[in-house]
Chains A and B, each alone.
Chain A
Amino acid sequence: MSETNYLTTDYTLRSWFLTTDHKRIAILYFASLIFFFFIGGAAATVIRIELATPQGDLVSSDTYNRLFTMHGIIMVWFFLIPSIPNTLGNFVVPLMIGARDLAFPRLNLMSWYIFMLGGCTTLFAIFAGGIDTGWTFYTPFSTLYSNSYVILAAAGVFIAGFSSILTGLNFIVSIHRLRAPGLTWYRLPLFLWSLYATSVILVLATPVLAITLLLIATERFFGVGIFDPRIGGDPLLFQHLFWFYSHPAVYIMILPGMGVINELISCFSRKEVFGYKFVAWASLAIAAVGFLVWGHHMFVSGQSLVASLVFSFMSFIVAVPSAIKVFNWTATLHKGLLRFDAPMLYALGFIGLFTIGGLTGLFLACLAYDVHATDTYFVVAHFHYIMVGGMVTAYFGGLHYWWPKITGRLYSEHWARAAAVLIFFGFNLTFFPQFILGAEGMPRRYHIYPPEFQVWNVLSSGGAAILALAYLMPLFYLGYSAFFGPRAPANPWDAPGLEWQTSSPPPEHNFATQPVVTRKPYQYNRNFQAEPQNA
């Protein structure tokens, strides 16, 4: 390789920590997220070991509370929310729109520093003694009773929120203003539509979380009556505010994954995504309707029956655009020339696991069933099927797909497929038993349980061990590939997107000449060869 690329232009530490190159910032984020994933994963490991037996023999109740809180807070705000947008998104958005960088490169770097500041603040709270409120910070526990580091942990989440907002802003402006000539909205790859929808949620919802956390601090420190009815507050206000953010936030944690799946399914079926416009608008519909359903987390909280009915109904509506996507992906597979490379295995896994997660969401959206299932392992299984089975799987799929572009190296296809299959297997063994446990009534957030539940818990813990091993595998074969793998060509999958029309890894400014787009995305000719968007 004679030409320099973004990795070889400069090797100094300074050139990394002061970079404004979206590709390098993606890698900074990537390294940080691996770190947080391990911390969150370590907590999960202890939880699963504890739950292998009905007695509380490994940790005390108090420690257990701190463990699942730490797991939830780290995984939601310091891993899953930034996962795909800030790593894969950061890397490929400018490439996909044919731009030299995002609209605000310095803001992009700043968002990473803010994220790290927030992450370190929360980590400090965790290691100083921990938080025992659960990731949801429910009042009055968080304002009145908890003696743990609530405010410090919340401060970290508050700070990290600004990094979310900046990233959302950057993506929105970039997609509006920096598209290459000829790249109309309906020629955008669907990954960009889904990131656009995600960004809208990031910008509109995150401020509400920030305000809510500030209000907790206000009540906790100054005794101002906001949530406490004895001093004039409303006891449900916290849950309304929190879920007004956090339900949309669960879509922040799935839309980018859905976006990745479009790219994978189309490339490995050698076909255009079926019903492009429906899939594109489904992303925006999810983002918008997702703001109207938050009360489904409050069915047993004392919320009014009228409100529960409306929120239940809206929750059924919000499943429609998700279902459109699932049907369109399956239709894309139909009569395609399927190739089962590792990214495709992840994509197929995503479709099945996401569908189970989404459909069980509908169970929970039924008022009567939710009374039985709320706060049981059924809910835990539901959201893990979406967040881990869906989003984390999509993250791994996207990572394998763009890996040759990011590093300029190829990885071992054998190991990659083995890991994909093992993740699927380990995941189901871990979380399927939790549906059964939940349906039988095992509550979440307790570490001591009746012995009848042990069989399913042992299966779940066994699955978790497999899953943990499977998640470690890519660290080795991808790590090896990054330094010793064979060089990747510019377009190893023969895909039509703009990101594949520049060298691997891309040069510092992405394209030697400004690409001009002449086609819709995902076009393949009769011999199943890609027709580049900028031919």
Chain B
Amino acid sequence: MTERRPPLPLVGAWLGLLALLALTVTLAYVPLGAGNAIVALSIGTIKAGLVAAIFMELRHRSGLTLVFAGAGLFWLGILLWLGLMDFMTRT
């Protein structure tokens, strides 16, 4: 914890996130039909990946830490899966 990290990757990731945000906003005004949602969600996923890898430093971790981070993702999957189960089968 005491070692000092070069801030370069952090700044880079931050700029990357801002760029992706700008992209999301711009693309929202381009009419793509159902494509809009797909594009927005894909960009969101990339952003989440950046945050996990760089801000949360998961790219330097291994083993148990990754298992726990993966568990978070898996549980999010449960929320989407069972939540959509209701949404898709409503009459």
Contact = CB atoms under 8 A, between A and B. Distances in A.
Interface of A: 172, 176, 200, 204, 208, 234, 236-237, 240-241, 244, 291-292, 294-295, 298, 302-307, 310-311
Given A204-B71, A204-B72, A304-B90, A310 B64 contact: no
B91 A244 contact: no
Interface string B48-91: 00000000000000001000100110010011001101111111
A306 B78 contact: no
A307 B89 contact: yes
Contacts of B91: 304-305
B83 A292 contact: no
A310 B82 contact: yes
A200 B71 CA distance: 10
Nearest to A169: B68
A292 B86 contact: no
A306 B84 CA distance: 11
Contact of A234 (B64, B87, B89): B87
Contacts of A291: 75, 78
B89 A306 contact: yes
A240 B86 contact: yes
Contacts of B82: 292, 294-295, 307, 310-311
B11 to A, nearest CB: 27
Contact of A306 (B64, B68, B71, B85): B85
23 contacts: A176-B64, A200-B71, A204-B71, A204-B72, A208-B79, A236-B87, A240-B79, A240-B83, A241-B79, A244-B83, A294-B82, A295-B82, A298-B86, A304-B85, A304-B86, A304-B89, A305-B89, A305-B91, A306-B86, A307-B85, A307-B86, A307-B89, A311-B82
Interface residues of B, number: 16
A240 B80 CA distance: 10
A40 to B, nearest CB: 30
Contacts of A311: 82
Nearest to A177: B64
Nearest to B86: A307
A176 to B, nearest CB: 7
A236 B79 contact: no
A247 to B, nearest CB: 11
Contacts of A295: 82, 86
Nearest to B78: A291
A379 to B, nearest CB: 21
B81 to A, nearest CB: 10
A237 B83 CA distance: 8
Contact of A236 (B72, B75, B86, B88): B86
A90 B82 CA distance: 35
A176 B63 CA distance: 13
Contacts of A240: 79, 83, 86
A298 B85 CA distance: 13
A310 B86 CA distance: 10
Given A237-B83, A294-B82, A304-B90, 16 more contacts: A176-B64, A200-B71, A204-B71, A204-B72, A240-B83, A244-B83, A291-B78, A295-B86, A298-B86, A302-B90, A303-B86, A303-B90, A304-B88, A306-B85, A307-B82, A307-B89
Contacts of B89: 304-307
Nearest to B81: A292
A304 B91 CA distance: 7
Contacts of A244: 79, 83
A204 B77 CA distance: 12
A507 B66 CA distance: 37
B78 A310 contact: no
B78 A292 contact: yes
Contacts of B68: 172
A310 B88 CA distance: 14
A212 to B, nearest CB: 11
Nearest to B75: A204
Contacts of B83: 237, 240, 244
Nearest to A172: B68
A515 B88 CA distance: 56
Residue in A237, A304, A305 whose Cβ sees the most chain B Cβ within 10 Å? A304
Which 4 pairs between the two chains have the least Cβ-Cβ distance? Answer: A307-B86, A304-B89, A306-B89, A304-B90
Contacts of A294: 82
Contacts of A208: 79
Contacts of B72: 204
Contacts of B71: 200, 204
Contacts of B90: 302-304
